[in-house]
Structure 1
């Protein structure tokens, strides 16, 4: 295994509890180098070299985290999305969860020691139970069913599907585009994805537990029924379930698409693309409930380009959401975290929201993050998609780097995977 690791810096607890004129500030930062490759099937057969990166890769790269779960202390689960950005260029990218330990090193007297992010294990998502070929519910061929990878035209490529993928029925970025994740009390994972869009339920070993759950009216262009000509797409590509959060009711999940349907008949408001429904899925009843919540994004009413990046529960009906544009580097304009309370709405029944963090303007008075400028830290990435609560004063935010095609930090190399810890003066919980 070739695994390059880097460090994490965090301010000591005395600093973290000190008074500051800021409402929030950087309390820690970590980075995983873009060149990190773990042992696994050769990947990247269907992407072009970019930013000095040659392909294919002799293993599996880690292109950032689209889902982030805090386990305890400095231990996390990180989940990449479908890999390289599209269905057909990601069929050799194995989906799953990375468990990692951020070995925290305190910054003392303006000097720092090098720490390390240690990836403890990779948990590949798989269909070893044969759920996707059992003749029930949602069935379709997955990469593991093929002997050779395919081009988008359907023509077979010259590259054989990796033996591990076929034998273990590992799921790949051709099969699903996983974007959001919740850890259940029993250790299983509920995952929101975009090709259905579906809700997927995996056990603690990564095996698909039950049939993928389709939405009653939202269908991606890559939904198996759409591809078979049985349904019409009602969502643009890559606008599925980007956010998934626990409800205060244990059996329920809150499910949030990135954007509204392009079928105006399915919209809450035909003329306002900002207005999203937050859906409720009951895992015990195995159905979506009729009740939804209404949320209004930033941006324009029509041709709205703002999307939801993630959502996480704070408790007692309160949640945080990421809103972001799809720009990066100097062009990035809007990367924000808002707080909502499901009990508080405006006169139109739309959830009130309050700005928690401007991710392009984060005070870093202790200069923890190496790219801070004049005491200000920024996350000018296209896809900011991971959000976790560490304690009642601290959150973590992670980025999906879209490796190897973007360099929001500038320079000639792809972006590293960054996680920033943000501490608040006032308790969030």
Structure 2
């Protein structure tokens, strides 16, 4: 190869023109040095050469290979030839031709700031003598500037441009351009407005126009090309909006009222604030918004009731509205059946309304059957409620690893076991399930943590997989990769089976906010480190507003709130976004505290939206109601109507309503709603139907359906038979709840009255108030809570259960264990201690575990045999 030799004139320190060049090469391991005298031009080899000229006028031709060619003084011609070459013009007027390959013009040795334009093929600077020097550039793709304040413009190709140092101005032009930064992402401050990015590093400022990516020394990159999004709907809910309920904000955790920014509690009712998740409420344009834990901490939110509000924005723009937001209704979350295994704020009340002192709810999904699934941050837990907000099962803990190990969970510092000193936190505070997406069929949830688990990379957020029918975690999808470790995610919502939207944000507000973005992630593309692919689709600090929908007099708009925690796909071109206003603390918009702003954004590129998602899917799932007569009616849903969400009102009489003959559905099923009325009705369910018996002694049956049904007996002595995965609620009266004909996974709730339960395998029941009788089948593995009253648990009925049943609340001296059809007596029963519980066994197998029961407290008086 050729290389520069240190042949200089001792008197001047400059290259001696009589000793123009030297050739240094390695031949079979031997260093060869040739001395060249009175040589003006050089042609390199087919290898990777390094060629340096002198102060004369040189022609330096690299030939093939990836060459480095440097000019000094004089009017030089630099020819890269084939290969990816680096060409360094000198302090003369040079002609630079990169030739074939991806070539770079490097001006780092030039002593004066340059103006480079690849579109015109020129590079200009004024030298120390005040003379304008113009270089000619041909076939150059990339540019490196000087240590001064340069101006560099790319062309239509994909360029790599580097300022080199100083306060540089860089314009990428067309193509996908990369701006190289001498540092790491952590070293820079980035502000983006439209197609202009301002990057501050080491006291220097780079102004970048039409650049797509920043590339850093450590190999990371950062996208600065912002897709164009337009504000097409704007509405605002004032911060000082309160709903009915007891006053909130009376205790900041130190016995004093909450007080900030001119607002002092207790407030006149429940603040409607902290929107942290959004779902469709109906086809008329209203939405459900989840309110988070309240005032930002566990200690100061004990009087903030956990609710889901139904709101109707009157959008300026899309609806030609007045920007107001109507609060139409709310769903109050509660645990009246005492399923939570730790004390809550309203522990000893009948309703057991949940508060921000119990959970930090940050994300939610409405299932195909109308149930509500919520992601919590304190546990972190998954919480399962019915459509009325009643908790259906105990909080579901988050496995640390898969396969999961019993008791090995992800826990935040506010996890009840951590607070009790029984476990150690392995997740940061407020790093739980900020996001909760779902599959279009709503059978799978995707809980997304807000922070990394101990031992995971600092920018890696776990995306879990949760199976709805079995109500259990089933694995990890992968990781979402934060752009900055200090960032957080805000929400997570589906586009189709593989693609989802994620809000990623910094923790700054107002003019200090720098990072508020929405990315599209793809589960079908996961790299070797487990990170899902992500693509920027919106920068919430750079939004076009040509019609000035928010009325501020500007044609641009931003969303500079510290927490932005709501996104939902309306259609392939439109998304809804809302902030969490952190009442009464945050001031992002100013000058007063933040309102709840709800906006519609039109995207630059359409989304590949699954037809089961979006507003149109909600519209398709709506039909006109059908009313019965006061007499004895026969009404059918399913194909007799439109196979989707029929609404049947039976009226009086002894009626038969069949919602089951459905062979064609949209999504997971029709979700017909049947209201029985005052008579003695027979109601049949099909796919994800909701049957309401009303008053009277009704028969509700879903055993021939395909799952996801909800059966509500109401008043009267009802008989309810369910299929696999269905839920039944007896209500008032002495009800019969039958699950033994199903394949398992049923959930039964007796309510008030002396109810009779018949279980199959893998069912869960809560008896409720009254003296209940509970019979288990051969399958076993049932989770049984008797509730108040003297209950009878028939844990063996002619057969030994295949798997052990669990009774959560057996009360010695009140409740009874029954063993039938085995010809046994108490002498055949073995009571064994088991980690604070009691295992009940008989010859042939184990029958049940009685939680929190000492075997010494039991006697023959607690058993009956038949």
Compared CA separation, residues 409 and 291, structure 1 to 2 (3 A) = closer
Matched, 1:129 2:341: no
Q: Distance in 2 between matches of 1:405 and 1:167?
A: 33
Give the superposition deviation at 1:115. Answer: 5.3
Q: Is contact 2:233-2:316 (8 Å) kept?
A: no
Matched, 1:101 2:303: no
Q: Distance in 1 between matches of 2:328 and 2:380?
A: 30
Compared CA separation, residues 237 and 198, structure 1 to 2 (3 A) = same
Residue of structure 2 aligned with 1:28, choices 233, 236, 249: 233
Q: Distance in 2 between matches of 1:376 and 1:176?
A: 38
Q: Distance in 2 between matches of 1:222 and 1:115?
A: 38
Matched, 1:194 2:405: no
SS of residue paired to 2:305: coil
Q: Which has the greater radius of gyration?
A: 2
SS of residue paired to 1:171: coil
Residue pairs, 1:121-270, within 5 angstroms: 121-132=329-340, 139-145=341-347, 166-217=349-400, 218-248=410-440, 250-261=442-453, 263-264=454-455, 267=456
In the alignment, what sits opposite 1:342? Answer: 523
Matched, 1:333 2:541: no
SS of residue paired to 1:341: strand
Compared CA separation, residues 42 and 365, structure 1 to 2 (3 A) = same
Compared CA separation, residues 356 and 189, structure 1 to 2 (3 A) = same
In the alignment, what sits opposite 2:596? Answer: 417
Q: C-alpha deviations, 1:204-257, integer Å up to 9, x for none?
A: 101001111101221011111111222111111111000000024642110110
Q: Distance in 2 between matches of 1:188 and 1:51?
A: 38
Residue of structure 2 aligned with 1:360, choices 537, 541, 545: 541
Q: Is contact 1:384-1:400 (8 Å) kept?
A: yes
Give the superposition deviation at 1:113. Answer: 5.9
Matched, 1:315 2:517: no
Q: Distance in 2 between matches of 1:97 and 1:66?
A: 10
Q: Is contact 1:70-1:390 (8 Å) kept?
A: no
In the alignment, what sits opposite 1:49? Answer: 259
Q: Distance in 1 between matches of 2:243 and 2:440?
A: 37
Give the superposition deviation at 1:380. Answer: 0.7
Matched, 1:276 2:276: no
Q: Is contact 1:101-1:117 (8 Å) kept?
A: yes
Q: Distance in 1 between matches of 2:280 and 2:307?
A: 16
Give the superposition deviation at 1:105. Answer: 5.6
Q: Distance in 2 between matches of 1:207 and 1:183?
A: 14
Give the superposition deviation at 1:118. Answer: 1.5
Compared CA separation, residues 371 and 106, structure 1 to 2 (3 A) = closer
Residue of structure 2 aligned with 1:77, choices 271, 274, 288: 288
In the alignment, what sits opposite 2:39? Answer: none
Compared CA separation, residues 214 and 46, structure 1 to 2 (3 A) = same
Compared CA separation, residues 142 and 106, structure 1 to 2 (3 A) = same
Q: Distance in 1 between matches of 2:299 and 2:598?
A: 29
Q: Distance in 2 between matches of 1:60 and 1:51?
A: 18
Q: Is contact 2:228-2:538 (8 Å) kept?
A: no
Compared CA separation, residues 382 and 371, structure 1 to 2 (3 A) = farther
SS of residue paired to 2:417: helix
Q: Which runs of 5+ in 1 are unaligned?
A: 1-21, 133-138, 147-165
Q: C-alpha deviations, 1:337-380, integer Å up to 9, x for none?
A: 0001111234544211110000111111111123473x211111
Residue of structure 2 aligned with 1:92, choices 303, 309, 312: 303
Q: Distance in 2 between matches of 1:35 and 1:179?
A: 21
SS of residue paired to 1:233: coil
Q: Distance in 1 between matches of 2:603 and 2:471?
A: 38
Matched, 1:119 2:327: yes
Q: C-alpha deviations, 1:246-300, integer Å up to 9, x for none?
A: 0246421101100102x22xx2xxxx3112221111122332223422221101x
Q: C-alpha deviations, 1:175-205, integer Å up to 9, x for none?
A: 1000001111111110001110000011110
Q: C-alpha deviations, 1:148-189, integer Å up to 9, x for none?
A: xxxxxxxxxxxxxxxxxx342110000100000111111111
Q: Is contact 1:124-1:170 (8 Å) kept?
A: yes
Q: C-alpha deviations, 1:19-52, integer Å up to 9, x for none?
A: xxx7421000111000111111111012332111
Compared CA separation, residues 367 and 115, structure 1 to 2 (3 A) = closer
Query: Higher RCO, 1 or 2 (CA under 8 Å, sep at least 6)?
Result: 1
Q: Distance in 1 between matches of 2:475 and 2:604?
A: 38
In the alignment, what sits opposite 1:385? Answer: 565
Compared CA separation, residues 349 and 405, structure 1 to 2 (3 A) = closer
Normalising by structure 1, we get a TM-score of 0.82
